[in-house]
C-alpha cells in the first residue's frame, strides 16, 4: 500500500513537473531580444500564435486565459514592441498593454484622391507633416528614383501615389511615406502590358494623365473603358476634351455643378480652353482606371452626359445633336425627382 502511494506521488510529481516545463519559462532558457509588430486588425488569437512562434510565450492557451481573465486582451494597441524569448506571462502582458516603441497607423488612400487630399489624410491619421508632403509631392519628383517618373515632364508626383491601405510607422518622414506609395505604383503596373503605349504614341505620363481623368469621371466601373474611348476618340479628331473634372482640378476646390464661367478659368488644366491632354494627372488613379486607359472600348462615342446623379451613370452618344437631346432628357428627369 505504501509503495503504491509513493508511486502515485511520483507520477503526480512527474506530471506537475511536465506541465510546469511545458507552460512556464525555465531559468536556463535563453532570453534574447525579439521585436514584435502588432498590425492594425490583428486578432488576439493570431497575436498569441505569433508570440508562441517567436518563443516569447511557451503556452498559447495559458497566455490567452490569463489575458482574458485580466481583461487585457483588448488593450493591446498596434505598433512595434520590444520583447524577449521565454518571458514571464505577466511581464509580456505588461509590455504589450503599455505604449509601443513605435505606433503603427493604418491609413486608407481612396482611388481618385489628389495630392492635397492625401497630404491632409496623412497628417490627420499618421502624424506626417502635411507641409512636407505637399512640398515633395508637388515639387520634388527629382528627389525620387522610380523609373516611371520623369521630373523633366513634371515636378509633381500627382498620379503616381497609388491608392491603397497603408501601414505607416509613427515618426515616418514625408519622403519615406511617399516612397512607399510610389513603390506600390511600380508593383501594381508590373502586371500590365505597357507595350501598347508605344502603339498609341503615348508616354507613361500621358497614360497616367488619361487614367486620372477616367478615375474622376467614371462612377460606375463598367463605364471606365467607355469614357476612355471618348477621350481617345476626341484626341484623335483634334477635339477639345471638355472634361469637367479637369476644370474642378484647375479651380482647386470641389463643385457639384459647374457653370459656364467656371469653364473659363485660366489654367493649362482646363480642357475646355486648351486642346489635348492637361499637363499631368488630376488625381491618383486606381488599377482599374489605369487598365481602362490602356484598353479603351472599341466604340465611336464622342460625348457623354450624366443621366443619373445618384448612381453616376452616363449616356454615351456619337454626335453633338444626340448629346444635346440626352442632356435635355437628363435635366427633365432630374427635375422630376
Report whether pLDDT(18) > 50: no
pLDDT value at residue 152: 79
Q: How far apart are CA 84 and CA 102, in angstroms?
A: 17
| 37 lies in the same domain as 64 | yes
Mean pLDDT value of segment 82-98: 89
Q: With beta carbons less than 8 A apart as the criterion, state whether 152 and 160 touch.
A: no
**Residue 195 belongs to a domain:** no
Report whether pLDDT(1) > 50: yes
Mean pLDDT value of segment 268-290: 97
Q: What is the pTM of this model?
A: 0.82
Query: Number of folded domains in the chain?
Result: 4
**Residue 17 belongs to a domain:** no
Comparison of pLDDT for 92 and 298, the residue scoring more: 298
Report whether pLDDT(13) > 60: no
305 dihedral zone (left: phi>0; alpha: psi -120 to 50; beta): beta
Beta-strand relationship, 165-169 and 79-84? unpaired
Comparison of pLDDT for 42 and 287, the residue scoring more: 287
Q: What is the DSSP letter of 295?
A: S
Which residue range(s) make up the domain with 317? 302-337
Mean pLDDT value of segment 122-128: 96
Report whether pLDDT(186) > 60: yes
pLDDT tens digit string along 197-228?
988 889 999 999 999 999 999 999 999 999 99
Q: How far apart are CA 108 and CA 42, in angstroms?
A: 17
Phi, psi (rounded to 5 degrees) for 281 = -60, 155
| 78 lies in the same domain as 123 | no
Phi, psi (rounded to 5 degrees) for 82 = -95, 110
Q: How far apart are CA 209 and CA 156, in angstroms?
A: 12
| 88 lies in the same domain as 117 | no
Measured at the alpha carbon of residue 188, what is the angle toward residues 184 and 191, in degrees to the nearest 5? Answer: 155
Report whether pLDDT(16) > 50: no
The cell for 105 is 497607423
Q: How far apart are CA 124 and CA 21, in angstroms?
A: 48
Q: Over the Cα atoms of the chain, what is R_g? A: 29
Amino acid at each position: 500500500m505504501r509503495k503504491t502511494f509513493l508511486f502515485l506521488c511520483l507520477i503526480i510529481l512527474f506530471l506537475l513537473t511536465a506541465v510546469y516545463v511545458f507552460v512556464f519559462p525555465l531559468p536556463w532558457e535563453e532570453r534574447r531580444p525579439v521585436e514584435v509588430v502588432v498590425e492594425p486588425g490583428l486578432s488576439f488569437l493570431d497575436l498569441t500564435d505569433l508570440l508562441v512562434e517567436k518563443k516569447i510565450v511557451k503556452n498559447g492557451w495559458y497566455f490567452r486565459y490569463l489575458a482574458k481573465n485580466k481583461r487585457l486582451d483588448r488593450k493591446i494597441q498596434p505598433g512595434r514592441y520590444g520583447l524577449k524569448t521565454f518571458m514571464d506571462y505577466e511581464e509580456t502582458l505588461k509590455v504589450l498593454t503599455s505604449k509601443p516603441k513605435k505606433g503603427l497607423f493604418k491609413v486608407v488612400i481612396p482611388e481618385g484622391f489628389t495630392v492635397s487630399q492625401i497630404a491632409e489624410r496623412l497628417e490627420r491619421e499618421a502624424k506626417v507633416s502635411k507641409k512636407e508632403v505637399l512640398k515633395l509631392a508637388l515639387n520634388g519628383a527629382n528627389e525620387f528614383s522610380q523609373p516611371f517618373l520623369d521630373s523633366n515632364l513634371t515636378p509633381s508626383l500627382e498620379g503616381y501615389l497609388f491608392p491603397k491601405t497603408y501601414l505607416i510607422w509613427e515618426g515616418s518622414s514625408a519622403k519615406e511615406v511617399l516612397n512607399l506609395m510610389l513603390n506600390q505604383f511600380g508593383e501594381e503596373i508590373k502586371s500590365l502590358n505597357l507595350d501598347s503605349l508605344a502603339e498609341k504614341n503615348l508616354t507613361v505620363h500621358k497614360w497616367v494623365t488619361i487614367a486620372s481623368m477616367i478615375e474622376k469621371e467614371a462612377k460606375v466601373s463598367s463605364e471606365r473603358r467607355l469614357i476612355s474611348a471618348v477621350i481617345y476618340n476626341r484626341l484623335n479628331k483634334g477635339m477639345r476634351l471638355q472634361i469637367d473634372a479637369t476644370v474642378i482640378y484647375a479651380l482647386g476646390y470641389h463643385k457639384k455643378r459647374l457653370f459656364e464661367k467656371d469653364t473659363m478659368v485660366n489654367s493649362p488644366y482646363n480642357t475646355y480652353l486648351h486642346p489635348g491632354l492637361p499637363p499631368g494627372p488630376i488625381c491618383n488613379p486606381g488599377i482599374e482606371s489605369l487598365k481602362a486607359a490602356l484598353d479603351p472600348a472599341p466604340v465611336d462615342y464622342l460625348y457623354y452626359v450624366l443621366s443619373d446623379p445618384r448612381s453616376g451613370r452616363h449616356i454615351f452618344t456619337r454626335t453633338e445633336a444626340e448629346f444635346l437631346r440626352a442632356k435635355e432628357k437628363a435635366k427633365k428627369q432630374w427635375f422630376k425627382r
